[in-house]
Amino acid sequence: MASPSSLKSRNYRFNIFSSFHGPDVRKSFLSHLRKQFNYNGITMFDDQGIERSETIAPSLIQAIRESRILIVILSTNYASSSWCLNELVEIMECKKVMGQIVMTIFYGVDPTHVRKQIGDFGKAFSETCSRNTDVEMRKWSKALTDVSNILGEHLLNWDNEANMIEKVAGDVSRKLNATPSRDFADMVGLEEHLKKIEFLLHLNHDDGAMIVGICGPAGIGKTTIARALHSLLSSSFQLSCFMENLRGSYNSGLDEYGLKLCLQQQLLSKILNQNGMRVYHLGAIHERLCDRKVLIILDDVNDLKQLEALADETRWFGPGSRIIVTTEDQELLQQHGINNTYQVGFPSKEISLKILCRYAFRQSFPHHGFKELALRLTKLCGNLPLGLRVVGSSLRGKKEEEWEEVMCRLETILDHRDIEEVLRVGYESLHENEKSLFLHIAVFFNHKDGDIVNAMLAETNLDIKHGLRILVNKSLIYISTKREIVMHKLLQQVGRQVIHRQEPWKRQILIDAHEICDVLENDTGNRAVSGISFDTSGIAEVIISDRALRRMSNLRFLSVYKTRYNGNDRVHIPEEIEFPPRLRLLHWEAYPKKSLPLRFCLENLVELYMRDSQLEKLWEGAQPLTNLKKMDFSSSRKLKELPDLSNATNLKRLQLNGCTSLVEIPSTIANLHKLEDLVMNSCVNLEVVPTHINLASLERIYMIGCSRLRTFPDMSTNISQLLMSETAVEKVPASIRLWSRLSYVDIRGSGNLKTLTHFPESLWSLDLSYTDIEKIPYCIKRIHHLQSLEVTGCRKLASLPELPSSLRLLMAEDCKSLENVTSPLRTPNAKLNFTNCFKLGGESRRVIIQSLFLYEFVCLPGREMPPEFNHQARGNSLTIINEKDCSFSGSSKFKVCVMISPNHHHHTKENRELRLKYGIIGKSGYRYPIFIVHPRESPGIRTDHLCIFHCDFPGEEILLDVGSKILFEFSSRYCEIIECGVRILTKDEEGSNNNRSNKYRLDQVSEDKDNWSYEFEPGESILDKVSDEEEDNVEGKEHTNCWSWLFACFNLFHIGCLGWGTKR
């Protein structure tokens, strides 16, 4: 974990600035590096628009100084450019003066040649110097010497460029993690919180997943702490995600099962970076994440069912995973079995004063003459961080008299703990226009995209840009990294409270359901009303009058929704309802009519959200839709057709999930030149989509479950994600090779797909599972960024060609025709799964086994233990007796092979972990603690298989004398352990795994070795003392009381020391 003190670092504009010689690397190495950075979420300065000259441009100097990490790519002709050399001088100066990080990449050039300016590099340097002064030459020479002394990556040391790029990106991520931005710099006291939570997280233990709760009242800082943890820790995990704003997510109009599916879908889409991902059952998280080390933060949980949906059991997640839950409800955590919690308490008087001063005076102490005022105000705010921030921000720059005025008002409040009254100070400090903007965000636009909000409010009298800046400065909102406008729920309540206190005839926004019913039924609305937010959950019935909406001619925002599901729709609207012409937001869930009104003016509409509607059609002909940016008709199961969209030229997202009656997407979609997302999952009757059009902005297409769709959507060459599993597509067009940004393709379950010919070299992940393909094109070896290939269930696939060395995961389960695997992967840390591939040829098996020390995990059919495992035993346990004095430490590794057979008494997928326990007993009787690893979920085998995986000894050095014993025991509830084998790797064999980035660690249970003893009566078995159903049928080469002692130690300390393997 990064040092919390590093939170005070500078605020940089870019993550990366790269210095390079364009003709050498721009279109090759640099383009791939930039793509990897984009994939990892790393921002890199782009100099495309800057004109090159002899002197370095001021804009480049500024970019260098505003970048956290400076990467110098030294190539043969780098020194031929005075531009590059001047960049380098500035970079080295920034390193010296500002402490910025400099990284080096030697691309086809020897570091010594750079250091001494010799060879071809030296010749280029001499030619450049001949055109410049001696002063410049000396300056450049020193910079080259200095930069060449920085240890970096050398291309000649790598077998391929892709692996080096991945390593560089990983290094950059880790360095960024160690130098976080100023996002949390104003969080006084954060460092102490992080230290305490770090202790609870046991980050050095990777033997199981763990759930930790963060609990405390609203406004105390739980979300800020969780965001800081995510920022600091995410690079240490394979996958991570921050699930924000979960409060209320359980009241969105679906039944319990549907809502749990929806939550799992949201989590998997976010953590796997696959928007629009479809989930079919509640075991999806377990299936996808059980062997991944993940960091998941579930923020603001307020319903037990949310936890049941997203983190019901720790075994859903891979070893070392951490799930952090923030909530106001301590009892909720206890109900879920989470006892490992951190209570965020109110800060001390001293810390509270610092928080107030940080926002009021931009320093940690009061200005002269304000100390007593600040102390009184701190007490009035109840030491609540959110209140201190809001009130402090509202008084920044104010005079003492204004402070006194605010405090007098607060002191009149009967209950000083009424935080909403405290926070109202921030609202009252605003001008009228800013107050109006605050109320609109509180009711309609919280967590909305900033561009959408700007468009929504474009025709009001509000200065949106200035107003948002004021609200940010006063700590009333913040802008997220996704450019969403976010307001704390307590401040939302302040906004609603303000509206409730307004005189009814003055209200611009209506939020009270009973008042809205009166307005809609009795035509009591007026021109002052600009927005209606109508929660229909608590009403018996409402019959909307013909003229109700017509009277509110200034109505711009109409939102009709349910926060509680009751199964009934009791909103009745007239046949000819008239929506006001100035309407910009129409959000109406479960709209009851078959079509929109004929006289509906769409000219000003920005967002049309009508999920779960009864609509069959929308409107006739072409309509003025130039302001429309987002349309969502998900789950409108009766919608049969889309209208003419030719004028929706600013539409960015079109969402049609679950429109099961929709047959065709109109050709007018070709005019949607700003469309970025086309989401049409589960449109089971969709047959026709336009092809041979090029929507340059279209990046993501989701057509999962469009089971009648036979046409491949050839719509854009700029698509990055294409998800169309379970369709009837028969072929992929050759033009796909030109889609240079395509990184993720999922055609899983498209049973009609038989052939493939081309794919672009930009691919990262390809899923062809459960298709009828018979062969993979040979060109796949040229896809140098491909990391994941899944062909599970491809029954006709007979062979696999040579695969790219970048591949990390090959899933080929149940490929019953697969016989030949050409040149299996030579990639360190790769996972290969050939479960139930019964025709796999002897030569392919031999080559795989020969490379087994290279892989992290291998599974394939087999009944013969490879001879490479020189310690073997029948059954599920073995003991290695040490024959000479030696030592083991964290650098010592071993390889394990387990022969497993299906247990026909267990047909469920539950409890399928394959487990290993390990311990050491010295000759003198000295007993070392127990270690445990859960390598992965066992595969669904149908006959005997070999599972091979890699482990490490514990980090602490262990000395073994002659006669010491190393004991191993394997277990699985769903399969039988037939035979097991272990090989302790030599130094040379360890070298083949030196680049492992995610190995399985066996971490120590207890550091108190002197207390690992247990007393027995003569002849008594420890299994009689400690009951554990997993310890049955223990057999092996040497089974003594030592083995029994091993089980005893594990069981006695499991709860106390390995409790993070279960919910606590």
> Could you tell me which of 757, 750, 751, 748 has the C-alpha nearest to residue 775?
757
Structure tokens at 128: 């450049």
Residue pair 327/215 in contact by the 8 Å Cβ criterion: yes
> Could you tell me which of 257, 260, 304, 310 has the C-alpha nearest to residue 288?
310
Dist CA 454 CA 330 (whole Å) = 39
Catalytic residue among 87, 421, 484, 699: 87
To 5 degrees, how large is the angle CA 702–CA 707–CA 713? 45
Beta bridge partners of 101: 69
Residue type, 1008: D
Residue pair 394/474 in contact by the 8 Å Cβ criterion: yes
Dist CA 552 CA 583 (whole Å) = 10
Which DSSP letter does residue 36 get? H
Which DSSP letter does residue 726 get? S
- Residue 704 burial class via C-beta count within 10 angstroms: exposed 0-12, middle 13-18, buried 19 and up: buried
Dist CA 359 CA 186 (whole Å) = 8
Which DSSP letter does residue 325 get? E
Dist CA 93 CA 89 (whole Å) = 6
Residue pair 910/988 in contact by the 8 Å Cβ criterion: no
Helical (H) or strand (E) element with 479: strand 478-479
Dist CA 342 CA 222 (whole Å) = 10
Structure tokens at 620: 């006739």
Query: Where do runs of H (alpha helix) occur along 99-235?
Result: 111-116, 119-129, 134-148, 161-178, 190-201, 222-233
Residue pair 763/786 in contact by the 8 Å Cβ criterion: yes
> Could you tell me which of 237, 318, 317, 204 has the C-alpha nearest to residue 1005?
204
Residue 813 annotated as catalytic: no
Residue type, 811: M
Residue pair 594/624 in contact by the 8 Å Cβ criterion: no
Dist CA 191 CA 200 (whole Å) = 15
Dist CA 1064 CA 1056 (whole Å) = 11
Helical (H) or strand (E) element with 848: helix 842-850
Please state the φ and ψ torsions of residue 224, each to the nearest 5 degrees: -60, -45
Query: Residues 745-782, buried b or exposed e (16+ Cβ, 10 A)?
Result: bbbbbbbebeebeebbbbbbbbbbbbbbbeebeeebbe
Dist CA 933 CA 914 (whole Å) = 9
Cβ contacts of residue 504 below 8 Å, gap of 6+? 515
Which amino acids are annotated catalytic?
87
